[in-house]
Amino acid sequence: MINLVFFLEEPSAEALLEVLLRRLIVQENIFIRYVVFEGKQDLEKKLARKLRGWKLPNSKFIILRDQDSADCKTVKFNLLKLCPEDKKPHTLVRIACHELESWYLGDLEAVEHGLELPGIAKYQVKKRYRNPDSIQAPSDELERLTKRIYQKISGSRAIGEYLKLDNTRSNSFNVFITGIKNILEI
């Protein structure tokens, strides 16, 4: 039995992962748990204490945070520094480049189906959406593209149902999915 524990900066990430991971992790001996914080500052403030106090055996940890406007390598380095030494070998830090919504902009077919907005997927061929990790404010872009239909929590859950696990447009999404597979050895 493995406890896979996600430390997340916001509820929308949990909403996405609850539906996305059902398709990725089919093994019955893996229990998924979520520790959701109230933003990145809350995550960074409480992460070390939560990890030190974690006592469930056979636990592996994934910390997911948005890059926002910071340097992703610095963000990752600082999060790793917060991890207690005994937990580091079982901990993976992943950064969504710039925000979780970059992953959605990399799969506009999932946005179209999830939000029931016919015609959105056709924009995927535009240069802007071929490399969604380069979009500086992807949540603003997604709101604009969906004419404000997209809402963070309900939208993440709806889009997550259709997000392709093998979509390669968002490198940070690919690195995240690969990291989960590697830490679970699946």
Tens digit of each residue's pLDDT (9 = 90 or more) over 103-159: 999 999 999 999 999 999 999 999 999 999 999 999 999 999 999 999 999 999 999
What's the gap between Cα 42 and its chain centre? 17
Q: What is the 3-state secondary structure (H, E, C) of the chain?
A: CEEEEEEECCHHHHHHHHHHHHHHCCCCCEEEEEEECCCHHHHHHHHHHHHHHCCCCCEEEEEEEECCCCCHHHHHHHHHHHCCCCCHHHEEEEEECCCCHHHHHCCHHHHHHHCCCCCHHHHHHCHHHHCHHHCCCHHHHHHHHCCCCCCHHHHHHHHHCCCCCCCCCCHHHHHHHHHHHHHHCC
Contact indicator for 102, 77 with CB cutoff of 8 Å: no
Distance CA 127, CA 130 (A): 5
Task: Give residue-wise pLDDT tens across range 71-100.
Answer: 999 999 999 999 999 999 999 999 999 999
Q: Is the pTM of this model over 0.85?
A: yes
Q: Which two tokens stand for residue 10?
A: 């916001």
Give the model's pLDDT for residue 186: 83
